[in-house]
């Protein structure tokens, strides 16, 4: 979609606070934070972006993640401590807190693994309901009984 046929309309505009926060970082941190933010916005269209506790925070329903730039590393905070278990197994050299992952500037950035952990935290509440045969046949029999009851009542 374009505005005035030549200016593309951004799908999600970054707030000035978050823009200043990310822009004030060193080049490696800026690159990591921007890639993380861009992926979050593209992957979770209903996510709310805000600054909380002086950190960019992304919230979907009651679940959230935040990231912060510390002295020697980037911290990624997740609302659930169990979501870091796989990262702890795969990357024992990284630093972990109870609910956060700390990635030092000199360490490689395990973006795919971080994405997987964030997906497990920010997954939507609604679950895909796949009916099984037993439940489907039960639903049909209940509907049939209800229809028969209504028909019998109308005849009286």
Please check whether residue 151 lies inside any domain of the structure. no
pLDDT per residue as tens digits for the range 103-147: 888 888 888 888 888 888 887 655 545 556 666 666 666 666 666
Read off the pTM.
Answer: 0.66
Domain residue limits at 100? 2-131
CATH number at residue 70: 3.90.1150.200
Number of domains in the chain: 1
Of 105, 119, 117, the C-alpha closest to 30 is: 105
Label residues 9-28 b or e (16+ Cβ within 10 Å = b): eeeeebeeebeebbeeeeee
pLDDT per residue as tens digits for the range 93-104: 777 777 888 888
Among residues of the chain, what percentage have pLDDT more than 90?
A: 1
Please check whether residue 69 lies inside any domain of the structure. yes
Please check whether residue 124 lies inside any domain of the structure. yes
Task: Say whether pLDDT at 4 is over 80.
Answer: no
């Amino acid at each position: 979609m374009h505005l005035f046929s030549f200016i593309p309309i951004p799908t999600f505009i970054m707030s000035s606070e978050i823009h200043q926060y990310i822009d004030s970082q060193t080049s490696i941190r800026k690159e990591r934070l921007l890639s993380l933010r861009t992926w979050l916005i593209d992957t979770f269209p209903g996510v709310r972006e805000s600054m909380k506790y002086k950190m960019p925070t992304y919230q979907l329903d009651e679940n959230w993640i935040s990231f912060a730039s510390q002295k020697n590393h980037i911290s990624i905070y997740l609302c659930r401590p169990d979501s870091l278990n796989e990262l702890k197994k795969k990357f024992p050299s990284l630093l972990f807190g109870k609910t956060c992952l700390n990635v030092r500037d000199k360490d490689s950035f395990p973006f795919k693994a971080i994405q997987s952990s964030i997906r497990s935290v920010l997954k939507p509440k609604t679950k895909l309901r796949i009916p099984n045969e037993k439940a489907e046949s039960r639903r049909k029999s209940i509907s049939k009984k209800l229809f028969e009851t209504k028909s019998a009542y109308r005849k009286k």
